[in-house]
Structure formats: C-alpha cells, structure tokens
Amino acid sequence: MHSFHYQNASLHCEDVDLATLADAHGTPAYVYSANTIRDHYRRLDQALGDIDHGIEYAVKANSNLSVLKLLVEEGSGFDIVSGGELRRVIEAGGDAGKCTFAGVGKTREEIEYALREQIYCFNAESEEEVAFINTVAGEMGVKAPVAFRVNPNVDAKTHKYISTGKSENKFGVDFEVIEDAYARAAALPNITLRGLQMHIGSQLTSLQPFIEAVEKVAPLANKLKESYGIEFFSIGGGVGIVYDPALESGKPEWWSGQEEEHKPLTIEQYAAGVVPVLKKTGLKILVEPGRYIVGNAGVMLTRCLYEKKGSAKTFRIVDAGMNDLIRPALYEGHHDIVPLKEPGAETGVTAVDVVGPVCETGDFFCQNRELPNFAPGEAIALLSAGAYGFVMASNYNSRGLPVEILVDGSEAKVIRPRQTMDDILASEKAAL
C-alpha cells in the first residue's frame, strides 16, 4: 500500500497537496512518500521475523541520499552495483560492512575502494572476476569476502529486459558448474568465501518462481555451508508492485476486496512461501528489495502544454519526457496517469497518447489510453514512479534533471534541486 490519495478533491502525498508542490517547485517533479518507504521496509522485516535475516536495499532503484538516509535509520543494509553507489551509502550514513557489491563488471578502482571501506561481501558473477578480486586483494595485503551469484535457470516470467535467472542472461555462474567454481575459489590465497547469492528477476507477481528457485538452490547453500563455512544465502529481490490500478491499491479495502486467485502477491505471501525452505539452511538470509520498497512510494508530476488533435489520434503533450522517466520507452513499463484535481462524473474521458517534448517517436508515457480529460496548464501525476525513475533520467536534448521532493507527514523538502542549464554546461564551459 502507499500514501497517495485524493483529499478534498486534490491528490495528496501523505498530508501534502501535490498541486501546491507543482505550483511552488514547477514540473517535471518527483515526489516521494517517506512513510510509504518506512512502511514497506518494516512489513518486509516483520514478514521475515522467523529467520535470521538482513534487508539489503537495492540502491539502483532510487539512490537519492535522503531516501538512503531513511533506510539507514531503519537499520537497512544495501545492495550496490557500483563504487558510486557505495559512496552514496556512506555519504547517507550507511556502513560498507552492511553492503553487498553486485554487478558483472567491477573495475579495479571499485574493488580497491570497496576493500578499503571493508565491504561485507562481493557478489561475484564469474570465476574470472573472483580471480581478479584475488589479485587486487593480494596487492593490498587483505583478504576479500566473496559470494558467487548462481544462475538457477529459473524462468521468472517477467519482461525479458528484467529477467536475470535464465542461462541466456549475462548474470551469475551456471548452476551445473557452481560447486566447481567454489572449489577453485577456495584455493585462492586472498579470498574468503562468505556466502551464496541468486536473483532471478524483477517485478515478479507470482510466488511460484521464488519457491522453485529457493527449493533448487537451498540444498546447494547447505553443501557450501558444510564445505566452506559460508554464513549467508542471499535470495535476491524481485517482489513486484501494483502498477495498475496504482491509486486504488493504496487502500486496505482494495486488497481485502480482491478475489484470492487474482490478488497480487503480497510480502506476507512471499515470506510464507519461502521462509519454511530457508529456515532449514541455518544460514543468515539476505533479501535485496528495491522496487518493492520505493516503487509505489513515488510519483512524477508533469504539466500539460498542448492538446494536438490529429486525424488518427489525440495527443496530450506534457513537459516531462522520456529523459525524465524512460521506463515506458525502454521496456514498455506501465504507469497509471491521474489528474491532480480529482475527476468527477462531468470530467469525461478521451482515448489519448500522453507524450513528451523529446524528439523521439518513443517519447510517450501511454498510447491509446482512456484517461480523464485534462486541459493545457493542468498538472497530472504518473504513479508508481519511485523506482527506476529519476535514477535513469538523463540530459538528452539538453534538458535539466527534475527536482526531487520528499514528503514526511505535512512537511515537504526539496532533496535535490532542479538542474539548471548553467549546471549542465559548467564542466564543459571550463574546457573552452
């Protein structure tokens, strides 16, 4: 659930009217709910309460320092995929000793930095990577903690761009050779084998792939515990969120009204399915949620500039573009779109394309979707934009990055100011 709702006919984030934020800070703008982030973290922590566990928030989902600081205060660890993300965690008050470092292409500089900061573990994606980490650690006179990421060849049944657990994906070591990989790594002088990791994909809305994966990999974790004394088994992240209907899903009564066979996967169902298998390993269980924590904790506000009625379509042109939120263009990501002013029976609906100003045909947020009518000058919200939104934004077409705002109760704070053209040009002008 989440804290976005209509109140007095105006869309609110917690106790703050989003129209006032759009007027005060302009658009495009990202707005995040602090209490939604806290609630999602706490619900997951409670659901896993029967086992020794750690939550490693996936920084790539939303890496704003203020968001990370919220999670540091909750006691979270962090799943990072770059040296830059490790720096962000540290700047937010986090501890590298509670971070796991994933990713297929770690550089020497990143490995050295992580070792200096005493990273909890490198989640390695290949034997070649472990050999290189061994070399770097030896040159530094330290031992590097390592876990292999195993590819269990389980179909997550999600979009091909966010599926990671099949043999044809670039991630992890094939299940068939993983035990040999551990044996060879155990012989390296500067490596300490600390755990085992897997992750089968993102935005999973069915429990079955999770159960299939943990049932397949848990016996392997037991073997590695006996052979090498590993201390953790990370089962990755991937629990999906409700993108449609996003606004309604913020209400408890919506969830209770869903028929059981059609109800989206809840974190309680997820835990009930995997915990009995994981408990038998006796290992500390790590989970790496990203989207689940922040996805429905954020919206992107944008304002309608023009309506263009063509012979084939009606276009509503807004001031946000694919450079601000690329998910629809990149992998057909869906975002519900709602006006900030609550629509009534008299509002009417029209089938429209909501498009941005970027000079690309792929610069759209929806196509042929029936939406409540909104006019030029009115602001709208793209929901479920807290994950993989701002973090994937760019300066394409020399457009400045949006402002980011964090709402906590009745308080709204700018946590990253809107990027100006002077900001964009500063480093290039210095070279003239």
Can you say which residues are annotated as belonging to the binding site for substrate?
Answer: 291, 327, 331, 360, 388
Task: Specify the DSSP element, H or E, that contains 180.
Answer: helix 178-186
Tokens of 18: 């989003």
Distance spanning both ends of the chain, measured CA to CA: 51
CA nearest 250: which of 322, 354, 338? 338
Report whether 216 contacts 260 (CB < 8 A). no
What are the binding residues? 238, 288-291, 327, 331, 360, 388
Q: Which residues contact 74 (CB under 8 A, 6 or more apart)?
A: 38, 41, 42, 45
Cis bond leading into 28, ω under 30°? Answer: yes
What are the binding residues for pyridoxal 5'-phosphate? 238, 288-291, 388
Burial of 189 per CB tally in 10 Å (0-12, 13-18, 19+): exposed
* HSE-CB of 387 using CA atoms within 13 angstroms: 27
**Pick the catalytic residue: 13, 121, 304, 359?**
359
Look up 359 and say whether it is catalytic: yes
Report whether 8 contacts 330 (CB < 8 A). no
Q: Which residues contact 276 (CB under 8 A, 6 or more apart)?
A: none
- Residues marked active site are found at 359
